[in-house]
Structure 1
Amino acid sequence: MVVYILFSEKLGRYYVDHTMDIEKRLEVHNQGGKKYTTKGIPWELIKTYLCSNRSEAVQLERKIKKRGIKRYLEEN
């Protein structure tokens, strides 16, 4: 399982989520397959974190969102 952070230069915003297949998910985001990220195309993959299972990935994703994605990146 992978937690990933994307950045849209067009919007100046970050996006965090988790997936099993990062290449496929990035393709979906950049083809407009996710409603929330459609306006930010193109998305750039900034960072990935490998997790041993879905539970760990969800916990990390929540931690990143709670801290703020930009702040989390600056601190780690």
Structure 2
Amino acid sequence: MFWLYILFSEKCKKFYVGYSVDVDARLLRHNSGMVNATKNCRPYIFKAKKTFPSQKEAMQEESRIKNKKSSKYIQWLIEGNW
């Protein structure tokens, strides 16, 4: 099972979308500065997470969300539309 997750940085007011098998361990990596894409905006908190049966499906959904390039769309998902 794979998780797709949405993180939020209060410091930078930015969302980050990713996928992982172990979302709790992945959040620790983000918040410890081990992920280049997120190290400057730490700390992050979970805003949403959803399971997918395969890595392929999680990656497809991640790509779909990222291609929107819209924080308003991500906020809409978080508010229960996902």
TM-score calculated relative to the size of structure 2: 0.86
Q: Unaligned regions of 5+ residues in structure 2, if any?
A: none
Alpha-carbon separation, structure 2, partners of 1:69 and 1:56: 21
RMSD of aligned residue pairs (Cα, Å): 1.2
1:67 is displaced (CA, Å) by 2.0
- Percent of pairs with identical residues: 32
Alignment of 1:15-30 (within 5 A): 15-30=16-31
Which residue in 2 is equivalent to 1:65? 66
- Flag as ranges the 4+ runs of structure 1 deviating above 3 A: none
Alpha-carbon separation, structure 1, partners of 2:74 and 2:4: 13
TM-score calculated relative to the size of structure 1: 0.92
The count of residues paired between Structure 1 and Structure 2 equals 76
1:69 is displaced (CA, Å) by 5.0
Q: Unaligned regions of 5+ residues in structure 1, if any?
A: none
